[in-house]
């Protein structure tokens, strides 16, 4: 914050969004830079004659739901990233994130920096928006109930204002951890990895019941089962599919073979929840999600909703143990590794294309990187969109086969770097 994201840039974002939309709702997570960024957004929106409606601290899915009454929504958040980071997410009235075309339009306006600034008597106004948290809470409470012990860890983020109370209203016996609002995230880092959730895991093992955890803005949820076992996004994706039994599902290109075993029609997308939501809207899909933890429930909207996911997990745990459900899921060994690179990306990419073209396999999917499918196994090589890193993911139906695939894939990456 203050390096790539500056008040001047944020003001331009507000002016660009306001140029395209008459009424914009804004919310923030708990980060210390949130007030500054909201103020800059409001200034930009009002400067072009549009209305800014400020909802204060909200989880991202709550803001996305509230955007239904406006032309657009802006969420000030850095999601699961550390406290010093911040950014903005832009939302449509249907709860979906701005797609690449919409984002490009905003970026073009910012680059040109030619905004239709208004006279003093044509400026937009700032309004305070109330009721978004209550509306989100009530919509879930009306359809889900639970009867189990729950330890909830909200990372001191905005879900502290909704998830513990919602779970209690649903009938859960709730113990809270890191549920005091604090943008410095004093209890743990915002990303809900197993390494960051040692306190939650320990409390579940001593207290009993299940554990639930959010990231820094509430678009993700993970769980700890009754045995104290961490259930990451990849496991929960399969668990939700098994529970909901959708006829068709949208998942990214790095999702497990287990999804193919469980659902007849699997639509694979680029990595990123915006692509999941887009595929769901276009093809009428009821559920989609990513191994990293965002889950999209079409009946609730097209924003990944960690609050609803947590409530649904509590409801499921009240019917039967999550541990038993997970033990019955198909699961295969998987390998993940990152490789830093310093050479020109274009040259590496060309070498990869040449290498992959010579592999004997069933298919090569180039939707997002190179996904090489071999029936009983696959590997994916893709470039990070934010840092000079190549990510390798591989999966096979048994350990011996995985070892073979990983050796082949690592050799390929090594020859290309």
Confirm whether 95 is domain-assigned: yes
Confirm whether 315 is domain-assigned: yes
Rounded to whole angstroms, the Cα distance separating 306 from 259 reads: 20
Q: For residue range 92-142, what is the model confidence (pLDDT) as tens digits? A: 999 999 999 999 999 999 999 889 999 999 999 999 999 999 999 999 999
Confirm whether 52 is domain-assigned: yes
Provide the percentage of residues in the chain whose pLDDT is more than 70. 99
> Is residue 178 left, alpha or beta, with left meaning phi > 0 and alpha meaning psi from -120 to 50?
left
pLDDT at 335 over 60: yes
Confirm whether 367 is domain-assigned: yes
Confirm whether 342 is domain-assigned: yes
When pLDDT is cut at 50, 70 and 90, the band that residue 186 belongs to is: very high
Residue 138 and residue 256 in one domain:
yes
Residue 167 and residue 210 in one domain:
yes
Residue 90 and residue 163 in one domain:
no
Q: What is the pTM of this model?
A: 0.93
* Residues in contact with 329: Cβ distance below 8 Å, sequence separation at least 6, in sequence order: 235, 238, 239, 242, 258
Residue 68 and residue 16 in one domain:
yes
Residue 313 and residue 171 in one domain:
yes
Following DSSP, what letter does each residue of 272-297 receive, concatenated? SHHHHHHHHHHHT-SEEE-TTSBEEE
Q: For residue range 76-98, what is the model confidence (pLDDT) as tens digits? A: 999 999 999 999 999 999 999 99
* Residues in contact with 178: Cβ distance below 8 Å, sequence separation at least 6, in sequence order: 153, 154, 155, 156, 160, 187, 188, 199
Residue 103 and residue 22 in one domain:
yes
Rounded to whole angstroms, the Cα distance separating 109 from 74 reads: 16
Confirm whether 1 is domain-assigned: no
CATH number of domain containing 369 = 3.30.310.50
Cβ count within 10 A of residue 98:
19
pLDDT at 56 over 90: yes
Is the Cβ–Cβ distance between 10 and 44 less than 8 Å?
yes
Confirm whether 2 is domain-assigned: no
Confirm whether 15 is domain-assigned: yes
Q: Using the 3D structure, point to which of 69, 94, 128 is the last residue of a domain.
A: 128
Residue 261 and residue 294 in one domain:
yes
Q: Using the 3D structure, point to which of 111, 128, 145 is the last residue of a domain.
A: 128
Residue 344 and residue 284 in one domain:
no
When pLDDT is cut at 50, 70 and 90, the band that residue 384 belongs to is: confident
Residue 307 and residue 159 in one domain:
yes
- Segment 313-326 shows an average pLDDT of 98
Residue 373 and residue 258 in one domain:
no
Residue 143 and residue 86 in one domain:
no
Range of the domain at 71: 7-128
Is residue 384 part of the annotated active site? The answer reads no
**Could you tell me the two tokens for 209?**
């019941």
Q: What is the pLDDT of residue 3?
A: 63
CATH number of domain containing 171 = 3.40.120.10
Residue 159 and residue 117 in one domain:
no
Q: Using the 3D structure, point to which of 80, 95, 128 is the last residue of a domain.
A: 128
pLDDT at 2 over 80: no
pLDDT at 1 over 60: no
Per annotation, catalytic residue among 12, 47, 50, 79: 79
Query: Based on the structure, what is the number of domains in the chain?
Result: 3
């Amino acid at each position: 914050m203050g390096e790539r994201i500056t008040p001047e840039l944020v003001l331009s974002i507000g002016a660009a969004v306001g140029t395209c939309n008459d009424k914009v709702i804004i919310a923030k997570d708990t980060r210390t830079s949130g007030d500054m960024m909201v103020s800059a957004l409001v200034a930009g929106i009002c400067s072009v004659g549009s209305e800014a409606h400020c909802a204060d601290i909200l989880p991202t899915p709550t803001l996305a739901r509230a955007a239904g009454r406006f032309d657009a929504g802006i969420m000030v958040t850095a999601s699961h990233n550390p406290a010093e980071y911040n950014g903005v997410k832009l939302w449509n009235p249907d709860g979906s994130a701005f797609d690449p075309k919409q984002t490009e339009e905003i970026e073009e306006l910012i680059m040109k920096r030619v905004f239709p600034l208004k006279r003093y008597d044509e400026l937009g106004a700032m309004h305070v928006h109330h009721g978004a948290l209550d509306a989100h809470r009530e919509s879930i409470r009306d359809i889900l109930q639970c009867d189990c012990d729950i330890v909830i860890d909200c990372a001191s983020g905005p879900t502290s204002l909704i998830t513990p109370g919602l779970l209690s209203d649903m009938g859960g016996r709730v113990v809270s951890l890191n549920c005091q609002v604090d943008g410095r995230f004093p209890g743990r880092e915002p990303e809900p990895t197993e390494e960051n959730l040692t306190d939650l895991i320990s409390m579940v093992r001593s207290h009993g019941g299940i554990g639930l955890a959010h990231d820094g803005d509430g678009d993700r949820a993970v769980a700890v089962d009754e045995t104290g076992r961490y259930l990451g996004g990849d496991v929960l994706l399969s668990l939700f599919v098994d529970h909901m039994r959708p006829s068709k599902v949208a998942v990214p290109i790095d999702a497990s073979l287990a999804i193919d075993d469980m659902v007849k029609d699997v639509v694979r997308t680029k990595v990123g929840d915006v692509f999941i939501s887009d595929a769901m809207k276009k093809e009428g899909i009821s559920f989609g999600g990513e191994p990293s933890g965002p889950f999209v429930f079409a009946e609730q909207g097209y924003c990944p909703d960690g609050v609803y996911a947590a409530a649904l997990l509590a409801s499921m745990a009240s019917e039967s143990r999550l541990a038993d459900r997970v033990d019955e899921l198909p699961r295969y060994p998987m390998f993940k590794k990152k490789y830093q690179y310093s050479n020109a990306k274009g040259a590496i990419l060309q070498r990869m294309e040449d290498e992959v073209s010579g592999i004997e396999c069933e298919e090569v999917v180039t939707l997002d990187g190179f996904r090489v499918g071999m029936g009983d196994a696959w590997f994916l090589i893709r470039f990070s969109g934010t840092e000079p890193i190549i990510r390798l993911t591989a999966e096979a139906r048994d350990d011996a086969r995985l070892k073979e695939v990983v050796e082949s894939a690592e050799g390929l990456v090594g020859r290309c770097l």
